[in-house]
C-alpha cells in the first residue's frame, strides 16, 4: 500500500455534527480498501475565496494508506459527497519527508540568552 495525504474541506454548517461527516469520509476510505494512519482536525477556517457560496470550511487532514486502485474510487466518491466542499488527495514524497525530518533534527536549537 502507498501512503497519501488527504485534506478535506467540510461544509461549515456541519460544524456541530462534524463526527457524522467524518465517519462518512472514513467509511469511503475503508470501503476502498484504505486505512487511516492519522487524523488531524484543523477546525473552522476562512477560505481564500468562496466555494459553493461558502466563506468558511472545516479542515480535516488525514494520513492514509491506500491500494493502487483506491485513489480513483475515493476521488469519484468525494466529488459527489454533499458534506465535502473540496478535497486534496496527494501521494507522500518519502524523500522529501525524510529530508524535512533531517533538517529539523540538524537545525540548531534556539538558545535563550
pTM (2 d.p.): 0.81
The count of domains in the chain is: 1
The verdict on residue 27 lying in a domain is yes
Q: Quick one: pLDDT at residue 112? A: 47
The verdict on residue 40 lying in a domain is yes
The verdict on residue 112 lying in a domain is no
Query: What whole-number distance in Å separates Cα of residue 91 and Cα of residue 40?
Result: 17
pLDDT in tens, 33-81: 999 999 999 999 999 999 999 999 999 999 999 999 999 999 999 999 9
Of 14, 8, 10, the C-alpha closest to 88 is: 8
Q: Quick one: pLDDT at residue 102? A: 85
- Residue 109's pLDDT band, with cuts at 50, 70 and 90, is low
Which CATH number goes with the domain that contains 70?
Answer: 3.30.70.60
The verdict on residue 45 lying in a domain is yes
For residue 113, pLDDT beyond 60: no
For residue 22, pLDDT beyond 70: yes
Which residue range is the domain that position 37 belongs to?
A: 2-106
Q: Quick one: pLDDT at residue 111? A: 47
Query: What whole-number distance in Å separates Cα of residue 40 and Cα of residue 107?
Result: 25
The verdict on residue 67 lying in a domain is yes
Amino acid at each position: 500500500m502507498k501512503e497519501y495525504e488527504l485534506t478535506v474541506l467540510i461544509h461549515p454548517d456541519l460544524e456541530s455534527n462534524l463526527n457524522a461527516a467524518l465517519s462518512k469520509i472514513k467509511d469511503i476510505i475503508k470501503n476502498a480498501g484504505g486505512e487511516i494512519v492519522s487524523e488531524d482536525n484543523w477546525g473552522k477556517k476562512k477560505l481564500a475565496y468562496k466555494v459553493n457560496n461558502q466563506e468558511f470550511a472545516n479542515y480535516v487532514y488525514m494520513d492514509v494508506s491506500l491500494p493502487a486502485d483506491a485513489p480513483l474510487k475515493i476521488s469519484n466518491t468525494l466529488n459527489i459527497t454533499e458534506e465535502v466542499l473540496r478535497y486534496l488527495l496527494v501521494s507522500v514524497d518519502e524523500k522529501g519527508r525524510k529530508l524535512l525530518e533531517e533538517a529539523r533534527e540538524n537545525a540548531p536549537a534556539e538558545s535563550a540568552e
